[in-house]
Structure 1
Amino acid sequence: MNSNKVSIATKPLVYSAFRYIENKVWNALAEYIDNAVQSFKDHSDVLTNINPNNKLRVEINIDIDQDIITITDNAFGITNDNYDRAFELANIPLDRKGLNEFGMGMKVSSIWLSDLWTVKTKAYGETEAKTLVFDIHEVTKNQELELPVSLETANVNEHYTIVTLTKLSQNKPRSRQIPYVKKHLASIYSKYIRDGLLDLVVNDELLCDTQLQCLVAPYYRTPSGESTEWKKVINFEAPKYDEFGNQIGVYYAKGFIGILERMSTSVDNGILLFRRGRVIGSSYDEKYRPKVLCGEEGSPRYKRIYGELELDGFDVSFTKSSFQDDDEFSTFIEIMRDDLIKDKSLDIFGQAQNYTKPKSKAEKAKAAQQLVQTIADEIAKPIAIPSEPAESTAEVSSVDIPEVVSAEPTSESASAENASSSETIVIPSIETEVRPNATSTYKLVINGVSESTNKGLYSLICKPDGKYYATINLSNGFFSRFRECLSSDDNIKQLAYFIRNLVVTELLLIESGIRSATSFRNKFNQLFGLI
């Protein structure tokens, strides 16, 4: 800056057009934070020496009632040498590898949000603070290409920038939006907040980075196996070509893709896409959820896949709301997905789709109680048995019940049995009646017990009191493999109908003097014990 004026060199009517670009409040506010972060990083050697805290602090105050937004930072400040560039539209910095690569952010955001804005800044080591006032109506009416700068003497050690937006436009945030704005900004700058570089305060609230819990569990195909943290480190690159097929660089992705401990439908699930340390177009509940990585919308995989990817080689829109080159971007993600699938060491997508979190003891007991009650209710209903041709049966001397044959426990089932022994579940007995016809009635007592993983699905005995006793083994492998059978009323009813028919069939065959009925159950249980 060589005088008490600063160039805003562009046709003033161009500024008016910025009011109508597609943008979001948090993206507009993020431009001020980007400038502060880049200023802090560019002068970190100096600021570290004078600030023991070694932290950038950005405070945003949104006062809807007073129609004013204030953004204050303690970065280096805008120096005299950099002042013209800061206010000339699209005056691109020499180093375009930072967060202020387009030279448009502060100007565009300020015009998008307000009719009148003021920038007061003091650079460290300089003796004057500078203040500029930009009134969009005056600039366009008078076709102004320069604006006056007010100077005042200041402490050489001070360093700050204060942007004040007044006469807010129709793009201003509404009161109900402010919590949403906070969450998006916390998400956009989560890395800087997490790394301790940035204190970001919005309306007196210090924003925090929320760390999501990654699933730690056995592989769904081996539920009794060792637990694994389901997080895959990503370090992937692919060649970048120009329109003539010549390689001009590489696309690069670094970060992780994992599985959430708890499913989410709209906030935690999905992937944060970073560029130069800040999120691009995928903050908070707008995370990146492509079908190739997250599966069908609404599926378990969609609700569980999450991650963070720092990308390089891709261009972004000047509002930093999206990545450019959609085709190349989509192709890169597909190639990365294929690379993940080839790696058999961690089946991220299979686990995300098929893993079911084990129920708590209370949840298991409630589902088991419902199952036993439903079986009893089904048995209590009159049974319509169709007539069938008479068949010769083996001569039976008695109807004693042989011992139930159990499958030999495998090492895996034995370890699972030991692990679950502390979660024994006993369901109170329910007495009901089996009425195969108008003249016959049999007493049946049903209960459920978590006996052993290598015992059969059920047992049936007739005691001296003349009653039959059926015990449903809630630890049978069937309930582990088909957990969904106990997850809804309809599934429980279907399972109850299946077990009811097995129990009643055996009971009626025993009453008919057919010994093979129990042999069938023994063999059936032998197979179920091996599930």
Structure 2
Amino acid sequence: MTFNIEIGLNAIASYRRMNYEIWYALAEFVDNSTQSYANNKDALDAAFEREGEKLEVRITYERQGNDPVLRIVDNAMGMDYAELEHALKIANPPAINTGRCRYGMGMKTSSCWIGNRWSIATKKLGDTREYTVEVDVKRIEGGDPTLDTKTIDGLSPDEHYTRIEIREHNREFKGRTIGKIKDFLKSMYRVDFRNNTLDLWYNDELLSWEEFETKLRRNRAGEPYKREFMFDIGGKIAHGWAGVLDKGARADTGFSILHADRVVKGWPDAWRPERIFGQNRNDLLNQRLLGEIHLEDFEVTHTKDNIQWYGDEEELFEKQLAQEISDLINIARTPWKDQEDGRRPSEGEIDLAISGLRDELMSPEMVDKISIEVLPPEEAIRESLARIAEPVKAGRAADIQATVGDLKVWVYVVSTDIGPYDPYVVCEAGSDGKIIVIINMQHPHVSQISGEQGIMNYFRHCVYDAVAEWQAQKLRSKLDSNTIKMLKDSLLRVSLLIEQHATTTTEENVAE
């Protein structure tokens, strides 16, 4: 006796609960467009030459009251009726599944993850018909699998396009998310941009990729510290390059992993193998070493946001990579003249800072602040801070929840529900060994902080002030300012100790 496995109709509704990031969901549509071009390159190149165009993908997000619409339009090959029908079947791999489109799930999963109503209108080069299909996820979930198709006949055979529109969104595009979408898409399609085969637009912005070549450190002969490599893991080939930045910038470092010439894991969220980079460190190596790795022979996850490692592949790969670029690792870790540590300010920067602080201290505005003669009662201050803290604690999860021995430190980095006139930081230290630190990102001082390292140091001071005060209170019944400074000084030395210990560990790992 046999039976067939079947996927229930409500499975399509479960796609909205997938662990996706919006930029990877959008990339599925761009993958389809670029793969369509790769599969039909000769015909499309001839058409583009006649039209004076090249492959173009436009992603547009429009707010229309309570019904925003996400629209993805390309001028790739388009689909005829049979191809459209095939594309709408769940987990039905495409006829050519060796490139960016492999599993037959991307367009469907992404569309359902983003919204509950979506449509496809497509017209194939050489055909005279446009086909439009609308998908109502909730109706399908309810048991109706019917997809009605509308046809427009009599169109020019020279037209070719696919247009996808998604409505009734499950999530919003706003604020910092939009900036991250653009950054990730720029990085993902860097090879297409290099080859000048793709114009990718997000709303009215044409995306492009800035190469790191000009930022690399050079030796005395003027040659960049950059080297290509190639090796295999169990018969699977890995190739790419590694390099060393001249001026340290942790945000730019780490490795970008590419599959089918598309980044699956990379800048601005680069891959940092622990064997090489250690864990959450900010030493010279972490500020300088970067590269690209092509892993065509390996599998990608079904969301195409990482490599699907099997067995001990990842461990063997990290070890081999560390050996291949051991010379660059040593170069990246070594201080050089005039830049012994990219994190330390120059003499000129120190002089400017001294001058600026001197002017600030002697300003009339500072005199006004120092001249305050009346302070609110302590109870009023506590009540005011509590009114700020309670909604934050009740309405969101802490950005950091750290347990340090018997002490719990919860840190909230808050940009909403708090204003520029509220305190820069609110701290609570309870008798239960728990410290709450709420950092106000709307405070005017934050706008004067530059870069990742600057904001990290600001966070350090906000948190370590609270921890040092808690330690002093615990050790002495009466708070003493010198005691607090001494305790905070110890805390500020922790990052250096981590770096020193981690450097020794990395040297041992590379040597293995």
Q: TM-score range by the shorter chain?
A: 0.5 to 0.7
Answering whether residue 269 of structure 2 is matched by residue 286 of structure 1, we say: yes
The aligned residue for residue 336 of structure 1 is 321
CA drift of 1:363 comes to 5.0
CA–CA separation in structure 2 for the residues paired with 1:150 and 1:91: 23
Q: Hey, what does 1:180 align to over in structure 2? A: 180
Matched residues in 1 for 2:293 and 2:124: separation? 35
In structure 1, C-alpha distance between the alignment counterparts of 2:348 and 2:82, rounded to whole Å: 73
Q: Is the 8 A contact 1:130 1:150 kept in 2?
A: yes
What code does the residue aligned with 1:63 have? E
Residues 75 and 161, structure 1, Cα contact 8 Å, conserved in 2: yes
Matches within 5 A, 1:457-496: none
What secondary structure, in the 3-state scheme, does the structure 2 residue paired with 1:116 have? strand
Aligned partner of 2:239 among 254, 262, 265: 254
Q: Provide the rounded CA distance (Å) in 2 between the counterparts of 1:304 and 1:276.
A: 27
> Contact 1:64–1:175 at 8 Å: present in 2 too?
no
Q: TM-score by structure 1 length?
A: 0.60
Matched with 2:260 is 276
Distance 2:268 2:179 in 1: 13
Contact kept in structure 2, 1:272 and 1:309, CA below 8 Å: yes
Q: State how far apart, in whole Å, the 1-side matches of 2:27 and 2:81 are.
A: 24
Tell me if the contact between 1:48 and 1:54 (Cα under 8 Å) persists in the aligned partners.
no
Q: CA deviation at 1:54?
A: 6.0
Q: Structure 1 residues 366, 29: CA separation in 2 closer, same or farther (over 3 Å shift)?
A: closer
- The answer to whether the aligner puts 1:55 opposite 2:64 as a matched pair is no
Q: Which residue matches 2:21?
A: 24
Residue 156 (structure 2) aligns with: 155
Q: Separation in 2 of the partners of 1:350 and 1:293?
A: 11
| Alignment-derived partner of residue 264 in structure 1 | 249
Hey, what's the Cα distance between the residues in 1 that align with 2:72 and 2:337? 45
Q: Is the 8 A contact 1:255 1:309 kept in 2?
A: yes
Distance in 2 (CA, whole Å) between partners of 1:208 and 1:366 is 32
- Matched-pair contact (CA < 8 Å) for 2:217–2:245: no
Are 1:301 and 2:285 an aligned pair?
Answer: yes
Which moved further from structure 2: 145-154 or 171-180?
Answer: 171-180
Residue 14 (1) aligns with residue 14 (2): no
Quick one: distance in 2 between partners of 1:256 and 1:293?
Answer: 15
Deviation, structure 1 residue 252: 1.4
Match of 1:416 in 2: none
User: After superposition, what is the alpha-carbon deviation per residue over 1:185-209, rounded to whole angstroms, capped at 9, x for unaligned?
Assistant: 1111111112101100001100001
1:236, distance to aligned residue in structure 2 (A)? 1.9
- Inter-partner Cα distance in structure 2 for 1:124 and 1:10: 34
Runs of 4+ in structure 1 displaced over 4 angstroms? 362-368
Aligned-residue RMSD, C-alpha: 2.5
Aligned residue type for 1:292? R
Cα distance in 1 between the residues matched to 2:20 and 2:303: 7
TM-score (norm 2): 0.62
8 Å Cα contact 2:131/2:151 also seen in 1 = yes
Letter in 1 for 2:205: E
Alignment of 1:228 onto 2:227: no
Partner of residue 335 from structure 2, selected from 349, 355, 359: 355
Q: Distance in 2 between matches of 1:193 and 1:226?
A: 30
CA deviation map 1:333-359 (0-9, x unaligned): 212322333xxxxx2111100133526
- When Rg is computed on C-alpha atoms for both structures, the one with the higher figure is 1
- The 8 Å contact of residues 47 and 54 in structure 1, kept in 2 or not, is answered as no
Instruction: Name the aligned partner's letter for residue 261 of structure 2.
Output: G
Contact 1:11 1:145 in 2 (8 A): no
Structure 2 residue identity aligned to 1:339: E
When residues 104 and 363 of structure 1 are mapped into structure 2, their CA distance, relative to the original with a 3 A threshold, is closer
Measure, in 2, the Cα distance between the counterparts of 1:276 and 1:101.
Answer: 11
Partner of residue 429, structure 2: none
Q: Which moved more, 1:23-32 or 1:75-84?
A: 75-84
Q: Cα offset for 1:227?
A: 4.3
Aligned partner (choices 213, 219, 237) of residue 232 of structure 2: 237
Q: Which moved more, 1:84-93 or 1:63-72?
A: 63-72
Equivalences for 1:32-181 in 2 at 5 Å?
Answer: 32-52=29-49, 53=52, 55-65=54-64, 66-141=67-142, 143-153=143-153, 154-169=155-170, 171-181=171-181
CA distance in structure 1 between the partners assigned to 2:206 and 2:158 by the alignment = 26
Distance 2:248 2:260 in 1: 29
- Could you tell me how far apart the structure 2 residues matched to 1:18 and 1:366 are? 52
8 Å contact kept, 1:271–1:287: yes
SS of equivalent residue, structure 1 residue 200: strand
Following the alignment from structure 2 to structure 1, what is the Cα–Cα distance between the partners of residues 126 and 261? Answer: 28
Identity of aligned residues (%): 27
- Measure the CA separation in 2 of the matches of 1:101 and 1:112: 19
Give the conservation status (yes or no) of the 8 Å contact 1:10–1:145.
Answer: no
| CA displacement 1:137-171 (0-9 Å, x = unmatched) | 12222x123311000022111000000001111x3
Between the aligned partners of 1:60 and 1:366, the Cα distance in structure 2 is: 42
Contact 1:54–1:197 (CA under 8 A) maintained in structure 2: no
In 1, Cα distance between the equivalents of 2:261 and 2:255?
Answer: 14
Determine the C-alpha separation between the residues in 1 that align with 2:188 and 2:12. 27
**Counterpart of 1:172 in 2: which secondary structure?**
coil
Q: Distance in 1 between matches of 2:323 and 2:304?
A: 28
Alignment size in residue pairs? 336
Q: Distance in 2 between matches of 1:281 and 1:82?
A: 30
1:216 is paired with a residue whose SS is coil
